[in-house]
A = this chain, B = another copy of it.
Amino acid sequence: MGKVVAEVVIVPHGTASPSLGKYVAEVEKTLRSFGLRTMLTPMGTILEGDLDAVLEAVRAAHEIPFREGALRVGTTIRIDDRRDREVTMESKMRSVEEKIGK
């Protein structure tokens, strides 16, 4: 089994302010601490690595908003796992950009 590319979104509920950046920043620091490739986007974080390593990082990051005071956390993980050939964040984007360029 090779690498997966996954997207994770971790959001607290009931935090009084609509600004969630404080929580997202702490979540991001935790996700980055696991040694996986990560990419912050305006709508979440994309991770690349072995599936179990990705899930371990997400599991840890899910606890972070609770430590910051949240009482409810919504976490969404979307996994793209392809096993006929290795895919990476870069190869997925390059494949699309090349086809658009033609």
Contact = CB atoms under 8 A, between A and B. Distances in A.
A94 to B, nearest CB: 9
B25 A100 contact: yes
A42 B90 CA distance: 7
How many copies of this protein are present in the complex?
A: 4
B78 A43 contact: yes
A99 B13 contact: no
Majority SS at the chain A contact face: mixed
Contacts of A90: 42
Interface of A: 5-7, 9, 11, 13-22, 24-25, 28-29, 39-44, 46, 48, 51-52, 55, 59, 62, 66, 70-84, 89-90, 92-93, 95-97, 99-100
5 contacts: A40-B93, A42-B46, A42-B90, A72-B83, A76-B79
